Amino acid sequence: MHVLMLSDVYFPRINGVSTSIETFRRDLGDLDINVSLIAPEYSTADKTPATWRVPSRKVLFDPEDRLMHWDHLMRTVKQAGNSNVDMVHIQTPFLAHYAGIRAGRSFGVPMVATYHTHFEEYIHHYLPLLPRSALRLLARRLARNQCNDLDAVVVPSEAMRQTLSDYGVTAPLHILPTGIPIDHFSNGNGRLFRERHAIAPDRPLALYVGRIAHEKNIGFLIEAAEQIRHQRPDFLLMIAGEGPALASLRRSVEKLRLDDNVRFVGYLDRETELPDCYAAADVFVFSSKTETQGLVLLEAMAAGIPVYAFAAMGTRDIVEPCRGAVVAPQESVAFAAGLTELLADPKRLSDLSVQAREFANMWSAPERARQLAELYRSLVD
């Protein structure tokens, strides 16, 4: 089977969509499903096998992303479609969506999309001058219209399935989270990472990994760190990632005089540095309220790191079973108190570590790819 996949974002742009695409592509190949991906060109150095790169320009309100040139995009779709496409899979709701719809109709093949992002909760951060209520209505209408053009929609969590149903989406909705490469994250060297970053072996370390964006609510974690340091002066919050909120968060840390308690380490290579970073932590912290899944939570759990996080939207499916995870309060003082208590209990951390590894094994990438392959084949047959 040949699947034509389209996305407005892909590596070297780092986010959950890029990670999901790459994770599924890797394992679908073992199931006799050939995936050709159409994605933006970020630079002439972008070279990825089976990827068609489309010339693109920077987006004014979000310079990390790219807007593909429409004429080039449609020519690329036509070229890629010469290889007997059996299915179109759309990954993002921008130009890739409309090009994917045209491709599916032109080739006469089924069309599926993965709904990765809860745009209703994100869009006001990037269009702050427009009324939030109007943006919510726009996001809901766009999602409904786009999804109802499709033969099926993949959602990563029950919360996202319910959200789209509430919007009025009538296309079949399939809950299929992105899997994780368990082995890749289970063998990190935490001791080496601590040595490299001059962190004492016994220093309590809470870790956040992800995009440094306003909707991730990282400022909440910094507020909690300010509370914790009064009881644990040696407490360290490590923030790994890059994004548009980085400068303002650095200013917050400086204003609160938290330079000794909060450390930004930037983007870490997923293949080499990131597994070691996870392994170095005592607990993984997460306070986003808008995630459709929360892959980083599962990556941390695969490394045996307990999770202390909000149970909100897609993270509920990971946190609420309380297998290697603790549901964190959504108020900063209570959050800080709970995290301080958890870090002071080595036995509980050890038990949670074992549970985390066991739970993460249920989310293995090959099994999720098998389920996606079954969906593809059910739509083609």
**Are residues 175 and 195 located together in one domain of the fold?**
no
Residues 18 and 10: beta-carbon distance below 8 Å: yes
pLDDT above 60 for 132: yes
**Are residues 128 and 73 located together in one domain of the fold?**
yes
**Are residues 216 and 280 located together in one domain of the fold?**
yes
What's the rounded Cα separation, in Å, for the pair 307 and 315?
11
CATH number at residue 312: 3.40.50.2000
**Are residues 39 and 92 located together in one domain of the fold?**
yes
State the total domains in the chain: 2
**Are residues 40 and 166 located together in one domain of the fold?**
yes
- Mean per-residue pLDDT over the chain, rounded: 94
Mean local confidence (pLDDT), 108-135: 78
Write the DSSP string, 122-154.
HHHHH-TTS-HHHHHHHHHHHHHHHHTTSSEEE
Q: For a pLDDT cut of 70, what percent of the chain falls above it?
A: 96
In this predicted structure, which of 135-139, 209-213, 317-321, 352-356 has the lowest mean pLDDT? 135-139
**Are residues 175 and 324 located together in one domain of the fold?**
no
Q: What is the pLDDT of residues 231-270, one digit of tens each?
A: 999 999 999 999 999 999 999 999 999 999 999 999 999 9
**Are residues 151 and 211 located together in one domain of the fold?**
no
**pTM reported for the whole predicted model:** 0.85
Q: Which residues have CB under 8 Å from 100's CB, separation 6+? A: 4, 6, 88, 89, 90, 111, 113
Q: What is the pLDDT of residues 67-120, one digit of tens each?
A: 999 999 999 999 998 779 999 999 999 999 999 999 999 999 999 999 998 777
For the chain, how many residues are written? 381
**Are residues 102 and 83 located together in one domain of the fold?**
yes
**Are residues 201 and 119 located together in one domain of the fold?**
no
Count other C-beta atoms under 10 Å from residue 85's C-beta: 21
Residues 164 and 154: beta-carbon distance below 8 Å: no
* Sign of CA pseudo-dihedral 303, 305, 311, 312: negative
**First-to-last CA distance in the chain?**
11
**Are residues 251 and 369 located together in one domain of the fold?**
no
Q: What is the pLDDT of residues 315-339, one digit of tens each?
A: 999 999 999 999 999 999 999 999 9
User: Can you give the residue range of the structural domain that contains 253?
Assistant: 182-363
* Confidence (pLDDT) at 167: 96
In this predicted structure, which of 59-68, 189-198, 314-323 has the lowest mean pLDDT? 59-68
* Confidence (pLDDT) at 83: 74
**Are residues 33 and 161 located together in one domain of the fold?**
yes
pLDDT above 60 for 195: yes
**Are residues 150 and 231 located together in one domain of the fold?**
no
Phi, psi (degrees; rounded to nearest 5) at 63: -65, -10
